[in-house]
Amino acid sequence: MRIDVLTLFPQLFEAPFSFGIFKRAIDNGLVELALHNIRDYTHDRHHTADDYPYGGGAGMVMKPEPIFEAVEAVVAGTDTDNEGGRTPVILLTPQGRLFTQPVANELAQYKRLVLICGHYEGFDERVREHLVTDEISIGDYVLTGGELPAMVVIDAVLRLLPGVLGSEDSTLEDSHAGGLLEYPQYTRPADFRGWQVPEVLLSGNHAEIERWRREQIIRRTLERRPELLDTAELGREDRELVKRLTTRRSKDNKDREL
């Protein structure tokens, strides 16, 4: 996969992708990360990439010209090699659709992605209207720039690509992989400060371990993110467990009220 990033601060991307898993993936040619400084597509002496908002108001707005020129230069003559159709040109913005695991899975299908990182108050609206194919938000909060959101998207997408994660790291059991939270994990020592690892995990009884883990997934999701249960694929046993746990919980609440 090739990811082109348009940013005013390309140096921000050096560190996160020059270690560990991503460095290996880039060195193994599984991933090509191309950083483009938006200022390189300005033509005035000050390399101006932002300007005052029409209609007044605080802050500055990113100018359309350098962003259009940068994207057109980056994607020029390349759309054809993307069986999946047009290369997604994605704006990182709080106004975008929420970034989730299913969105990461979707983006991981493409051979190319173009990510545009903003700063200041945001982008001239004509960038949204006439250039980008998608807008993504990593969450309902406001950051100083789109670089960290772009890194989040890159991290979540690259780890899904075949060969990026070593065999020991599987994405299959991730939280959210099946739309539910993950089961508790333990490693040695079995006794840490008197806190024991659950017996079942030391039993070697894999069927029992699988049952315990599934129950933990349901319990934890019900406790922390019950809304996820509405959209997840639940088996019959899962649904019975949810019913049992919710009835018990409402009974406990009633008892508490008494």
**184 noted as active-site residue:** no
Quote the tokens at residue 39: 């200022």
**191 noted as active-site residue:** no
Q: Which is nearer to ligand 4FV, 143 or 242 (CB)?
A: 143
The burial of 54, by beta-carbon neighbours within 10 Å (0-12 exposed, 13-18 middle, 19 or more buried), is given as exposed
Q: Which helix (H) or strand (E) segment is 59 a member of?
A: none
Q: Which is nearer to ligand 4FV, 48 or 82 (CB)?
A: 48
Q: Which is nearer to ligand 4FV, 87 or 93 (CB)?
A: 93
State the DSSP string of 124-163: -HHHHHHT-SEEEESSSS--SBSHHHHHHHHHHHHTTSTT
**193 noted as active-site residue:** no
Kindly state the smallest distance separating residue 6's Cβ from ligand 4FV, in Å: 13
Q: Active-site residue among 16, 53, 94, 184?
A: 94
Kindly state the smallest distance separating residue 151's Cβ from ligand 4FV, in Å: 11
Q: Which is nearer to ligand 4FV, 36 or 212 (CB)?
A: 36
Q: Which helix (H) or strand (E) segment is 3 a member of?
A: strand 2-7
**125 noted as active-site residue:** no
CB 34 within 8 A of CB 1: no
Binding site for ligand 4FV (CB under 6 A): 92-94, 118-120, 122, 137-139, 141-143, 145-146, 149
Kindly state the smallest distance separating residue 66's Cβ from ligand 4FV, in Å: 15
Q: Active-site residue among 159, 213, 219, 220?
A: 159
Kindly state the smallest distance separating residue 119's Cβ from ligand 4FV, in Å: 5
Give 192's strand partners. Answer: 195
Kindly state the smallest distance separating residue 147's Cβ from ligand 4FV, in Å: 9
Q: Which is nearer to ligand 4FV, 16 or 94 (CB)?
A: 94
Q: Which helix (H) or strand (E) segment is 22 a member of?
A: helix 20-27
The burial of 85, by beta-carbon neighbours within 10 Å (0-12 exposed, 13-18 middle, 19 or more buried), is given as exposed
- Residue from 112, 124, 152 nearest 136 by CA: 152
Catalytic residues: 94, 121, 159, 174
